[in-house]
Amino acid sequence: MKVPDLNFFLKTFLSLLVIFIICFTGILIGMLISDQAQSPGGDGVAVINVDGIIIDTDPYIKSIRKIRETDSIKAVVVRINSPGGSVATSQEIYEELKGLGETMPVVASMGTVAASGGYYVACAASAIYANPGTVTGSIGVIAQFASYEQLLKWAKVEVEVIKSGEFKDLGSPLRKMPEAEKAYLQTLIDSVHSQFKDTVAERRKLSPEKVASLSDGKIFTGSRAKELGLIDRIGTLETAIAEARRLSGLDEDSWIKEYPVKKKTLLDFVFPETLAEHAIFASPVKTGFGLYYIADVIY
């Protein structure tokens, strides 16, 4: 009886494996190219996803400017799932969206949470939609600082600071904050809080007195926010998209394109869901100077 040639089987197996890898890679590359090259015909709606803590404005600002340059985009829906972020970044995205609203309809859709800086961004829209259970509101400003003074004393570590002025090391974690610094920080917080309240009063057409009564940091459900005039309607993302289409005169089946555009890799086709898509965000502890429109919520 003839003994099977192991080398023959090994070579055959390796050859088939190489062919499989080449074919599989080719299919993935084709899917990747097809996905990135897709260019829908006619006019449509752009959906800008504002997710997580708002710290980096770059992807949003680039998206807004790209949308402005694209003639086929006739309306925008800003989908917000964010507890807020830094004051300056929230304001910058708001201003860009507000400017975009002068050329096309901009509608906001609130997801699980759109609070503090997330709500600030939503105020740029001509209409705000939320789910009944959406967490929103938290119209306020916060700055948090940690102090390691007692820990340093326990460890018998001495720190010398040489500075050019009384407030140059404002918020330093190396010592307990003096009352003069607290008072100075309060003036800054009051200033940017006033900016927030003025924006809400202007965009939501509410009296300063009413906005002041809602601006103590409380959060509201979407249903309650509608009663208070902080949003316009209860509705889903699809409802907001339908409204954007109506305002811009688009057909109900016109295309939708999401921004920021995510550049897909081969791994995205193998593992379409990533941990980042299911991340839980909470307010970070601030150990240095920073003013935040942010709600300390987990979602």
Is 116 an active-site residue?
yes
**Domain-embedded: residue 277:** yes
**Domain-embedded: residue 270:** yes
Distance CA 294, CA 296 (A): 6
Which pLDDT score, from 0 to 100, does residue 37 have?
41
User: Where in the sequence is the domain holding 127, given as residue range(s)?
Assistant: 42-138+215-294
Catalytic residue selected from 62, 153, 168, 218: 168
Place of tokens 């008072």: 183
83 closest CA partner among 59, 51, 58: 51
pTM, 2 dp: 0.80
Which pLDDT score, from 0 to 100, does residue 40 have?
64
Task: Tell me the C-alpha to C-alpha distance, in Å, between residue 299 and each of 13, 83, 133.
Answer: 49, 9, 12
**Domain-embedded: residue 28:** no
**Domain-embedded: residue 151:** no
* Token representation of residue 240: 């907001």
Which pLDDT score, from 0 to 100, does residue 285 have?
42
Count of domains in the chain? Answer: 1
Which stretches does DSSP call E strand in 125-179? 127-130, 135-137
The helix/strand/coil state of 73 is: strand
Backbone angles phi, psi at 157, to 5 degrees: -105, 125
Distance CA 296, CA 282 (A): 6
pLDDT in tens, 51-62: 999 999 999 999
**Strand duo 127-130 + 233-234: pairing:** parallel
Q: No. of H helices and E strands in the chain?
A: 10, 10
Which residue positions in the chain have pLDDT lower than 50? 1, 3, 28-39, 269, 271-288
**Domain-embedded: residue 122:** yes
Which pLDDT score, from 0 to 100, does residue 16 have?
66
- Domain CATH code at residue 274: 3.90.226.10
73 closest CA partner among 230, 254, 261: 254
Catalytic residue selected from 116, 138, 172, 254: 116
**Domain-embedded: residue 224:** yes
**Domain-embedded: residue 123:** yes
**Domain-embedded: residue 198:** no
- Are 292 and 85 spatial neighbours (Cβ–Cβ below 8 Å)? yes
